[in-house]
Amino acid sequence: MRTQGLPTRARLLHAAYTEFQEQGYRQARLSRILAGAGVTKGALYHHFPDKWALAIAVIDQTLAAHIETTWIAPWSLSQDPLGELVATVRQHFAAPGWDARALSCPLRLLFADMATLDKGFPEAIERALARPRSALVSRLMGGRAAGIVRADLDCEAAALFILSAWRGCWGLARTLHSVKAAQSCGEELLRYVASLASLPTPLSPRTVPSHSTPPLSGGL
C-alpha cells in the first residue's frame, strides 16, 4: 500500500501495523516505524504519546475495519437478521484463502505481547467488539418484533454468545492448527443461529437431524 500523500497519522498507523505484524510489541522499534512512515519523532509524539498508545490505535483501527467489513456492512442490506448471520458465516468460509487465514492472525505477535502487559489491552478489544454487539442486539430485537426471531430470546445474551463463539472458532483453530476445528465450530454456530428462529428453518435442529446438517466446507 502506498502511503505517500496520506495524512501523517495514517502513515504512522500503516508503518506501525507492518512493524507490529513482523516484530510484535516488545521487539518493535519506533525508529523503524518512523523510517517506514517517513516522519520525524516529533510528528509521532504529536499524535501518540508513546509506543503503547500507537499499538492500541493500530488495534482499534485494524479490528474496526475488519468488523465493519465482516459484520456491520452486510447487516445494513437485509431485513432478516438470522439470514444475515448465516450468510456472514458462509461467505467467510467461502472466501479464497480462508483456511490459511484461519490459522494465522496478522497481529498475533502484538496481541500475545500486549495481553501479558495489560495496560488497556482488554479495553481496546472491548471497544472493538462493542459496535458489532450493539448492532447485533438491535438487529435481533428488530427480528423479534417482526416475528422472525423467537419471542423469548434474550437478545443481549444471544449477541454476546454469537460473537464469542465466532472469535472462539478462530482461536481454537489457531491453537490446534486445524482448519477442521474452525469448520466444526462454524457448523455448530450455524445450528445455534437457526435455533433462534420463531419458526423452523432449513438449518434448524427442529427440522434437520444433527448428522445431516449441511457442512460449511465445499459450496459455502
| Helices 121-145 and 51-67, packing angle to 10 deg | 20
pLDDT at 205: 43
For 149, phi and psi rounded to 5 degrees?
-105, 150
Lowest mean pLDDT among 53-62, 102-111, 131-140, 159-168: 102-111
DSSP β-bridge partners for residue 197? 149
pLDDT at 123: 80
Query: Quick check: 82 and 193 in contact, CB under 8 A?
Result: yes
**Cell numbers linked to 140:** 435481533
Query: Quick check: 33 and 19 in contact, CB under 8 A?
Result: yes
Q: Which fold has domain 55-212?
A: Tetracycline Repressor; domain 2 (1.10.357)
DSSP run (H or E) holding 25: none
What is the separation of C-alpha 101 from the centre of its chain, rounded to a whole number of angstroms? 12
Q: What span, in angstroms and rounded, lies between the C-alpha atoms of 16 and 55?
A: 7
pLDDT at 105: 66
Q: What span, in angstroms and rounded, lies between the C-alpha atoms of 143 and 150?
A: 8
CATH architecture of 1-48: Orthogonal Bundle (1.10)
Whether residue 168 has pLDDT greater than 50: yes
List where CATH 1.10.10.60 sits in the chain: 1-48
Query: Quick check: 159 and 193 in contact, CB under 8 A?
Result: no
Whether residue 202 has pLDDT greater than 80: no
Q: Using only the alpha carbons of the chain, give its radius of gyration.
A: 20
**Cell numbers linked to 214:** 449441511
List where CATH 1.10.357.10 sits in the chain: 55-212
Query: Quick check: 89 and 184 in contact, CB under 8 A?
Result: no
Confidence band for 210, pLDDT divided at 50, 70 and 90:
very low
Q: What span, in angstroms and rounded, lies between the C-alpha atoms of 111 and 129?
A: 15
8-60 tens-digit pLDDT: 999 999 999 899 988 988 999 999 999 999 999 999 999 999 999 999 898 88
Query: Mean pLDDT, to the nearest integer, of 138-167?
Result: 91
Whether residue 88 has pLDDT greater than 50: yes
Confidence band for 155, pLDDT divided at 50, 70 and 90:
very high
pTM for the structure as a whole = 0.67
